[in-house]
Amino acid sequence: METGRFSRWITIAGALFCLAGSASGAAFQLGISSTPAVATTNRTLAYTLALTNRTSVGQSNLIVSSSFNARISFLSANNSSGTAGVEGGAIIYRTPFLGPGSNLTLTLNLRPIDPGFLTNTLQMRSDQSATEVTNNVRRVFVAEADLGVQLRSPTNPVVAGDWINYRLVVTNAGPELVPQFTVTNLFPGNARFISLTPSNPPVSLTATQLVVQGSSLAVGQTRQFNVVIQPNTAASTQITARVAGPDLSDPVSGNDAVTNSLQVVTPTAGVLSAAFVSAATFNPQTGLMEQTIRITNLDDASIPMSRVVLSGLGHPVVNATGTNAGLPFIVLPRALAPGESAELTIEYFSPTRTATGNPVLSAFQVPQDIPRAPTGQTVAISRIQRLPDGRFLLEFPSAPGAAYTILYNDQVPLTNALQSLPSITAPADRTQWIDGGPPRTSHRPGEVPARFYRVIRAQ
């Protein structure tokens, strides 16, 4: 290591770099090291100073002072050949005598208070030597943490005008708590922002850029944000997300950003007919109005998935699969052969328990939609009962407000189970769900030899 009366050294991330040369007449050689490699406001920053008398004469009344340009919390200091302590805002090391060519070791433990660049200015003087100065600079972060983001968006083509939901999942793999973070989400230019859940974090929206602020993410913790947008035109486009934390040292940068493709298509009209086959009636078991419609494939080719958009109903459709341009729709979640028909039941809530007129039906062919497999905890089903009309009633314990997904299949094991849409938000500590066939399931229970179920509580 070079030495000198006005030597200047800088340490970044634990490594020592020389900023200027040394003067040949310097009396002292000072080696500086500090740990840990990443300094944060949560950790003790430990300095070790190795001081050598380079002269051929002894140095009496040797004083080394250590002062900082930013706030610190002093913890301890030690001098191998004398005393150490705080005097007038600096840490002062006093050594009565240091012989020619002799060494001493000085240590300092502190806690940085503020993030930024922390400069340790060291001054050395004795009765025999003038003051020599050197600096040591460390970058101090607010925390060290592997902050990552996942983007769970539709993998299948979506229909123009649909309200599509995607999830931003922020993770902290540690090793320290993240005090603050920012998620920047860019969605397609042909899309309109609909909503963000939860709606309470600080958020800003500029054109198609959504910026969400988060706070206090502990090690191993995740934070989820659900975004709903409406792509209005067919296009091949993208959704991107990036996460960052102010003054954060992130040891893994590969999971800080993600980009997913999004294919938006136009539905095919004119290949399906839709008509009512029953009047709306009140079901006392569910408290909902029910009405059955029949769709028929008018084309000479199979239709992978059929959709019926409802307009003019004026009541919330409880079993709607989704929303297109603000209108609810239901689907037949299976293929429909040429000339084949299928019946679907609309369920909606009417406070008067009476029908107020039929909605307008618009039927379309849409791409097959295979929902993303749900992740969560399996919930034990406490009761399965066949109702007099052939439908199945499921009952299971639930947490009010929690989301549940029903998986079903006509054989076991349920390795290739189908997913019933929409998912359920539990209204109470016990939830009942009725399988009456489309649109909740592919067929009515009586149309298949057997049916098996599993309930998943969403994470």
Residue pair 295/303 in contact (Cβ under 8 Å)? The answer is no
pLDDT range class, residue 2, cuts 50, 70, 90: very low
Picking from 149-153, 190-194, 199-203, 447-451, which range would have the lowest pLDDT averaged per residue?
199-203
pLDDT range class, residue 155, cuts 50, 70, 90: confident
Judge residue 180's burial from the number of C-beta atoms within 10 Å of its C-beta, 0-12 exposed, 13-18 middle, 19 or more buried: middle
pLDDT in tens, 281-317: 999 988 999 999 999 999 999 999 999 999 999 899 9
Judge residue 217's burial from the number of C-beta atoms within 10 Å of its C-beta, 0-12 exposed, 13-18 middle, 19 or more buried: buried
pLDDT in tens, 250-273: 999 999 999 999 999 999 999 999
Q: What is the pLDDT of residue 417?
A: 87
Cα separation, 291 vs 275, whole angstroms: 11
pLDDT in tens, 338-379: 999 999 999 999 999 988 889 999 999 999 887 777 778 999
Q: What is the pLDDT of residue 53?
A: 96
pLDDT at 123 over 50: yes
pLDDT at 414 over 80: no
The residues that bridge with 136 in the sheet, in sequence order, are 120
Q: What is the pLDDT of residue 411?
A: 81
CA dist 191 to 160, 162, 235, 263, 367, Å? 9, 10, 10, 12, 19
CA dist 425 to 74, 164, 401, 432, 442, Å? 53, 18, 6, 11, 21
pLDDT at 1 over 50: no
Between 422 and 45, the more confident residue is 45
pLDDT at 184 over 90: yes
- Domains of the chain and any CATH numbers: 8-141 (2.60.40.1530), 144-265 (2.60.40.1530), 268-366 (2.60.40.290), 376-458 (2.60.40)
State the DSSP string of 313-366.
Answer: --S-BTT--EEETTEEEEEE-S-B-TT-EEEEEEEE--TTSS---PPEEEEEEE
Q: What is the pLDDT of residue 16?
A: 41
Cα three-residue angle 387-390-393, rounded to 5 degrees: 45
Q: What is the pLDDT of residue 370?
A: 75
Q: What pTM does this model have?
A: 0.80
Cα separation, 21 vs 4, whole angstroms: 7
- Mean of all residue pLDDT scores within the chain: 91
pLDDT at 3 over 70: no
Instruction: Kindly state the average pLDDT of the residues 320-349.
Output: 95
At residue 151, φ and ψ (nearest 5 deg) are -120, 110
pLDDT at 231 over 50: yes
pLDDT in tens, 56-95: 999 999 999 999 999 999 999 999 999 999 999 999 999 9
% of the chain residues with pLDDT over 70: 95
Picking from 90-94, 136-140, 455-459, which range would have the lowest pLDDT averaged per residue?
455-459
pLDDT in tens, 368-407: 887 777 778 999 999 999 999 999 999 999 999 999 999 9
Q: What is the pLDDT of residue 26?
A: 86
Cα three-residue angle 100-103-105, rounded to 5 degrees: 155
pLDDT in tens, 7-59: 344 443 343 433 333 445 689 999 999 999 999 999 999 999 999 999 999 99
